[in-house]
Amino acid sequence: MGWIGDSVQSIRSLQIRQLLSQIVTLGTIGALALIIWKVLMCVTGSESPVVVVLSGSMEPGFQRGDILFLQMSKDPIRAGEIVVFHVDGRDIPIVHRVIKVHEQQDTGEVNILTKGDNNFIDDRPLYAQGQLWLQQHHIMGRAVGLFPYVGWVTIIMTEKPILKYLLIGGLGLLFITSKD
């Protein structure tokens, strides 16, 4: 009768080992994704190396759903650059073009005015109350390249969160039930 107990024990330890190895694999994938993101942050010098275009204010150059690649350097912001900035108190990054620059003599500080290519008026109404200009520290990065359509995945998952849960749930289920 001892061999029944032995095989039950070996099956149980096999399942525990399998579960643990799956957890480690999941953790490794997560850590790899994080490492890639952080390396991109270092290489591009920007907090957010990639951003999704959410509005039509830069059409037809940038369409909703495009992905923009960002870089940030210490070089002063100049007219014509497409920059990404946050307005105080708002989460959503805005991607617009710099149309005016005033750089001070002693401090080198810049006052910037931005405007979406497809907008009729400049961005002053978007800035915080009483704020007439953006400064260098408001700028998160400059757009240097684009990849069309791929950002739609993010937009759909943000606007229809149920799809996000379905996707994660589905992936999780697939992972648990896989035998290798």
Q: Summarize as ranges the residues that interact with other proteins (CB under 8 A).
A: 60-62, 78-82, 97, 99-105, 108, 111, 117, 122, 143-148, 174, 178-180
> Exposure string (b/e) for 95-133, b if CB count within 10 Å is 16 or more?
bbbbeebeeeeeeeebebbbbbeebeeebeebbeeeeeb
CA distance 34 to 28: 10
> Which listed residue (46, 57, 66, 138) is catalytic?
57
Token representation of residue 93: 């990054």
> Which listed residue (46, 66, 96, 138) is catalytic?
96
- State the nearest-atom distance from the C-beta of 54 to other proteins, in Å: 18
Annotation says 138 is catalytic:
no
Nearer to other proteins, 61 or 172 (CB): 61
- State the nearest-atom distance from the C-beta of 4 to other proteins, in Å: 29
- State the nearest-atom distance from the C-beta of 2 to other proteins, in Å: 34
* Strands 139-147 vs 82-85: parallel, antiparallel or unpaired: antiparallel
| Angle between helix 152-159 and helix 161-177 axes, rounded to 10 deg | 110
Annotation says 96 is catalytic:
yes
Annotation says 123 is catalytic:
yes
Indicate which residues carry an active-site annotation: 57, 96, 123
